[in-house]
Amino acid sequence: MHRIALGNTVFEGNNDAYLFVGESTVLLDTGVAVGEAREDLAAGLADRGVTFADVDAVVLTHYHADHSGLAGEIQAESGAPVYAHAADAPLIAGDADAWADLEATQRRLFEEWGMPEDAREELLTFFEAGEGIYGDPVDVTPVADGETLSFGDLELEVLHAPGHTAGLCCFVPTDGNEVFTGDALLPKYTPNVGGADVRVDRPLERYVRTLETLADRGFDRAWPGHRDPIDDPSARAREIVAHHEERAYRVLSALAEGGPADAWTVSARLFGDLENIHILHGPGEAHAHLEHLVRTGDVERDGDGYRIADGIAERLAVLDGERWPL
């Protein structure tokens, strides 16, 4: 396996694509459809004597452009099948109805979150500036959790890992104890939940379950979708769970100290002013936490917003450590 680093300034950047060369030539994730990423990917493949036309199969961790954007171009040149989870496949394929449904859900949630009109306009301008980053439409072969993809001497177990997106998958080579995690597990940042894919039902709950699965599997190493490999994936997964427990504590504290608020206001209390994609990610993550805390009985809905439930402020005051169990 060969890791190809893709330097780009779209979203978090510092993407990784992974090339497997054996009986079949397989590419896991492709990078975004912009010139810099395309050049980096082509150069990384060329270092191994491979061109886009030589790729036998493409495997995608999820639909986001920085992971799937060049898949259509590679498929057009090579005829390679492209594999992705069924939940993300329509978006990767460029299905107009799937994208319209996603955008309609975003607009509904912007209203529910209390996002101001000027922030919506800034976010939409950011989206418009990135038009084309998803690249060409793709003919996608859907995969499911537990399935094994066979490419000659390479076999990959599909491990559904929802939270960041509905269809995010990790891929586990069956000849070792390593895992390719896409954005389910990152070495530096904690993947956004709630805003990154507004289609996900109970995104925080599902993501914590994903992290617990990754921790319990006890992998020796994780190869993430961004930056460097993770040498102790179980520890990193538990670290991200702890991060979300700290975030839950901060959400409750924001309500206890500042009073009832909608998701946009809670986001502002947590993160301050936001710009670009974070206008989506900030209130999205605040909303994911608030809705989770509603289900656990720690927060109650209050008109268009949320209020802390009776007795929770007192529990926060005597809590040992700034973490709230999820």
Query: What is the pLDDT at residue 207?
Result: 98
Query: What is the pLDDT at residue 8?
Result: 66
Q: Mean per-residue pLDDT for 244-269?
A: 96
Asked if pLDDT for residue 10 goes beyond 70, the answer is no
CATH number of the domain enclosing 10: 3.60.15.10
Average pLDDT, the chain: 95
Query: What is the pLDDT at residue 154?
Result: 97
With a pLDDT cut of 70, the percent of the chain lying above it is 98
Are 68 and 109 spatial neighbours (Cβ–Cβ below 8 Å)?
no
Query: What is the pLDDT at residue 304?
Result: 82
Asked if pLDDT for residue 178 goes beyond 70, the answer is yes
Asked if pLDDT for residue 135 goes beyond 90, the answer is yes
Structural domain contains residue 216: yes
Residue 263: band (very low, low, confident or very high) from pLDDT cuts 50, 70, 90 = very high
Number of H helices, E strands in the chain: 11, 13
Are 73 and 135 spatial neighbours (Cβ–Cβ below 8 Å)?
yes
Domains: count for the chain: 1
Asked if pLDDT for residue 130 goes beyond 90, the answer is no
Residue 244: band (very low, low, confident or very high) from pLDDT cuts 50, 70, 90 = very high
DSSP code string of 13-45: --EEEEEEESSSEEEE----SSHHHHHHHHHHH
Asked if pLDDT for residue 9 goes beyond 70, the answer is no
Structural domain contains residue 148: yes
Per-residue pLDDT of 184-210, as tens digits, reads 999 988 999 999 999 999 999 999 999
Q: How far is it, in rounded angstroms, from Cα 292 to Cα 295?
A: 5
Are 77 and 52 spatial neighbours (Cβ–Cβ below 8 Å)?
yes
Exposed/middle/buried for 65, CB within 10 Å: 0-12, 13-18, 19+? buried
Closest CA to 183 of 198, 199, 202, 197: 197
Residue 249: band (very low, low, confident or very high) from pLDDT cuts 50, 70, 90 = very high
Are 213 and 179 spatial neighbours (Cβ–Cβ below 8 Å)?
no
Structure tokens at 320: 């040992």
Give the CA-trace dihedral at 177, 178, 183, 185, to 10 degrees.
70
Query: What is the pLDDT at residue 129?
Result: 82
Q: Which residues contact 20 (CB under 8 A, 6 or more apart)?
A: 1, 2, 26, 27, 28, 151, 154
Closest CA to 57 of 93, 19, 90: 19
Structure tokens at 290: 């608030």
Q: Mean per-residue pLDDT for 216-225?
A: 98
What is the domain extent for residue 150? Answer: 2-93+131-231
Query: What is the pLDDT at residue 12?
Result: 65
Structural domain contains residue 222: yes
Q: How many residues does the chain have?
A: 326
Structural domain contains residue 281: no
Asked if pLDDT for residue 116 goes beyond 70, the answer is yes
Structural domain contains residue 308: no
Structural domain contains residue 195: yes
Give the residue, 118 or 12, on which the prediction is more confident: 118
Query: What is the pLDDT at residue 197?
Result: 97
Per-residue pLDDT of 288-303, as tens digits, reads 999 999 999 999 998 8
Q: How far is it, in rounded angstroms, from Cα 294 to Cα 298?
A: 6
Structure tokens at 134: 């998803």
Exposed/middle/buried for 32, CB within 10 Å: 0-12, 13-18, 19+? buried
> What residue has token string 């102790």?
232
Per-residue pLDDT of 43-67, as tens digits, reads 999 999 999 999 999 999 999 999 9
The DSSP output letter for 53 is G
Structural domain contains residue 236: no
Q: Mean per-residue pLDDT for 135-149?
A: 97
- Strand residue runs (E) in the chain: 2-6, 15-21, 25-28, 57-59, 82-85, 140-143, 148-151, 154-160, 169-173, 178-182, 221-224, 299-302, 305-308
Structure tokens at 218: 């006890």
Structural domain contains residue 278: no
